[in-house]
Structure 1
Amino acid sequence: MSDRSPEAGRCPRLLVLGAGSYQIPALQAARNLGMHVIALDRNDKVPGAALADAFHSIDTTDREAVARLALAENVDGVIAPCTDVAVPTQAYVAGVIGSPGPGVEAAETLTDKARFRAYQARRGLPHPRAVEADPDCFDAASLTEHAYVLKPARSSGSKGIFVVAPDEIGERLPQTLAYSPDRRFVVETFIAGAQGTVEGLWIGGEIALAVVTDRLTAPAPLVATLGHLWPGRFDEDFRRRLLDAIADILADLGVPDSPFDCDFVASPDGPVILELTPRLGGNSLSKLVRAATGTDLPAQAVRLALPRSLRPQILPPETPMGPAAGVIVLGSPATGRLAFDEVGEASLKAEPWLAGIAWDMPAGAAVRRFANGQDRVGEALFLAPDRTVLDARHAEILQRLKVSARSC
């Protein structure tokens, strides 16, 4: 751990791991709070680079290189918003510079899918039955269930994850291994049920904020997120059991004050946690949380990454925008050139219930068929007086935009 101490009177210096579109809210929040922002990403063309006071082209998983940069830049805190693979680096660097952050053991347990399943099994927690497999000697003949989930041991954005029958694993495995640098992968039982997400804040050993959504996913064999609808259609008893399960894991692993992101499935026996990480969630969840609760989650997250003596004050929560809110992750149904109904887009923008549409690229840009978070082309945030109307508006947005792809 570094023995340096912050200079009195200077603005806090924050290192942000990642500078893609999902990191922009954290970068902007840090700037708005008067922090000196250093960002890094292995891709030097990312849109968030322009928001940083300094940008470095470094792989977020290269712990030693990131630690050297943190010491050279004399940073006070480090954060890994919306990316699982950078959370262990955040934990390692926080230990080096002496800033708040999850411990390395907790970070690796929560972001490595094989380790997390082993942790759940060891503690007797509900979980899919899983096996970490070797691609050189894996035998699908031993699998007896109808459906399984095939995934890299470490990835984010649903990259390389598929719902498969046992005899389909061999066909899909090369795509999974393409997102597994160490060639580790996991095969686990598929649990049928409603999918959901919890985005929240863990402060003082308690859940201080929890927004529980329905998570919309791409049709099988894909699992990528297509959006979130709030409030989720889960009863109060289920919600209580879910939040108790999240709190139990975060407390057991000694996670300090932090945002958290959790994906779960509602099995016939109750909530089953699929993933739980101490970071901001992607898929524009922070915008949804702000609409639902008035809480600026990125601002809270960047504050919590700093020592207490350097945390700036933030404004109290705003008035929520409405009793129901949703976010759609827009993707193309095919590979080609992005197309959408511009008349339909204009009519949507005139609706008072549409909080915003943002495109990641212009019409005519080359796009791939949506398979994971890297393939998104934009997003839409919208409001409603209740869930029934919200569901109808979700369908209406998709129908009016008619996102498609022209052949190249």
Structure 2
Amino acid sequence: SRKGVFLIDWWNCQTWAAAPAEPGGLPVGLAASHSPKLGQALGRAAELSFEGQVIIERFVEGVEFGGDAWIQDGRIEALFVTRKDMQGTIVRGHLRPAGLSSVHHEALADTLERHVRHAGYLSGPLNFDVRLTGEGIPIVLELAPRLGGNWIPQLIAYSSGADLFEAVVRNALRESVSLEVLKLRPAASFVIGSGEDRLLEEDIPVDDVKNAIGPLIELELDFRAGDRVEPFRDSAQQVGRALFDLESARYEEVTAELERTLTPWLAPTRPPARPEAER
């Protein structure tokens, strides 16, 4: 086996997820225990790892949620849950509200707080990834004492009014932190990629794209003219991020519209969304 590969309960699980072993390493492939694709998943994960190390995680069936929380005195003071838009093992977006029932929300909060308590984490931000099984049991995939990526804090600020960036700074300065939720506005963040290798011959006109899509609130792109964009296989190849207001728009439709608008520069990463009448 490859150096740094950790096998857990191998023979009692049918499907595995392979991920770089560093903190925050996201799964890059799924494979059955005896499938040739397992080697491909391990190779891809090792390629993305700084140390060439891979961890194999048992794949948990269920709906995936994420988000950020604020921990004060070892307890969850504020919890902001997102429902993830997954493309295989790749996170494409986060939506709020997450659509959890009050029972499932409470179960998730209790589970996270129990992990925080056992870890001895007293104060600061908490990023989390959780799967809710068909039986309604929250399974923690990962916890990290930081804010989330993929514009999770920006989504939380827009949808609830809670500024987690300010909270982190205040906490570092030993000042009191108060995260009052002022609203709950439907919104989503979206990870932008390209379906194929592209050389950008010109800058993508961010303002023009924003003006063309009404629900698009913010758009940030990491590439400029002359840069080469790799095909989107995981978050390492993301081109940028977008923030949408979903008060009167559907997530599937506005993300598809964004990909169509960006086609002069980037190749679509998903099939076109079907019209409502065809669903």
- Give the TM-score, by structure 2 length: 0.80
- Structure 1 regions of 5+ residues with no counterpart? 1-132
Structure 1, residues 86-132: CA drift from partner, whole Å, max 9, x if none?
xxxxxxxxxxxxxxxxxxxxxxxxxxxxxxxxxxxxxxxxxxxxxxx
Aligned partner of 1:170 among 27, 36, 39: 39
Structure 1 residue 164: Cα displacement: 1.7
Relative to structure 1, the CA distance from residue 340 to residue 260 in structure 2 (aligned partners, 3 Å threshold; closer, same or farther) is: farther
Residue of structure 2 equivalent to 1:52: none
| Contact in 2 for aligned 1:345/1:400 (Cα 8 Å) | no
Structure 2 distance, partners of 1:316, 1:238, is 22
Are 1:373 and 2:235 an aligned pair? yes
Residue of structure 2 equivalent to 1:192: 61
Aligned partner of 2:260 among 399, 404, 408: 399
Number of residue pairs matched? Answer: 263
| Contact in 1 for aligned 2:126/2:146 (Cα 8 Å) | yes
Structure 1 distance, partners of 2:73, 2:149, is 24
Residue of structure 2 equivalent to 1:113: none
- Whichever structure has more helix as a proportion of its residues is 1
Structure 2 distance, partners of 1:195, 1:324, is 18
Structure 1 distance, partners of 2:201, 2:99, is 33
Residue of structure 2 equivalent to 1:225: 91
Relative to structure 1, the CA distance from residue 345 to residue 182 in structure 2 (aligned partners, 3 Å threshold; closer, same or farther) is: closer
Residue of structure 2 equivalent to 1:346: 208
Alignment-mate amino acid for residue 243 of structure 2? L
Alignment-mate amino acid for residue 129 of structure 2? D
Structure 1, residues 68-94: CA drift from partner, whole Å, max 9, x if none?
xxxxxxxxxxxxxxxxxxxxxxxxxxx
Structure 1 distance, partners of 2:24, 2:6, is 23
Structure 1 distance, partners of 2:121, 2:181, is 28
Are 1:275 and 2:142 an aligned pair? yes
| Contact in 2 for aligned 1:157/1:374 (Cα 8 Å) | no
Residue of structure 1 equivalent to 2:187: 325
Aligned partner of residue 404 in structure 1, secondary structure: coil
Structure 1 residue 258: Cα displacement: 0.8
Aligned partner of 1:254 among 117, 120, 123: 120
CA RMSD in angstroms comes to 3.4
Aligned partner of 1:152 among 5, 12, 20: 20
Aligned partner of residue 178 in structure 1, secondary structure: helix
Structure 1, residues 317-349: CA drift from partner, whole Å, max 9, x if none?
6954x6201111101112232489969972642
Are 1:212 and 2:102 an aligned pair? no
Identical columns (%): 25
| Contact in 1 for aligned 2:71/2:78 (Cα 8 Å) | yes
Structure 2 distance, partners of 1:254, 1:195, is 25
Give the alignment of 1:4-403 within 5 angstroms. Answer: 135=3, 143=11, 145-156=13-24, 158=26, 161-166=28-33, 167=35, 168-219=37-88, 223-269=89-135, 270-306=137-173, 308=174, 311=175, 320=183, 323-338=185-200, 346=208, 348-363=210-225, 365-385=227-247, 389-402=250-263
Structure 1 distance, partners of 2:147, 2:4, is 36
Structure 1, residues 13-38: CA drift from partner, whole Å, max 9, x if none?
xxxxxxxxxxxxxxxxxxxxxxxxxx
Structure with larger Rg? 1
Structure 1 residue 390: Cα displacement: 4.0
Residue of structure 2 equivalent to 1:62: none
- Give the TM-score, by structure 1 length: 0.56
Structure 1 residue 170: Cα displacement: 2.1
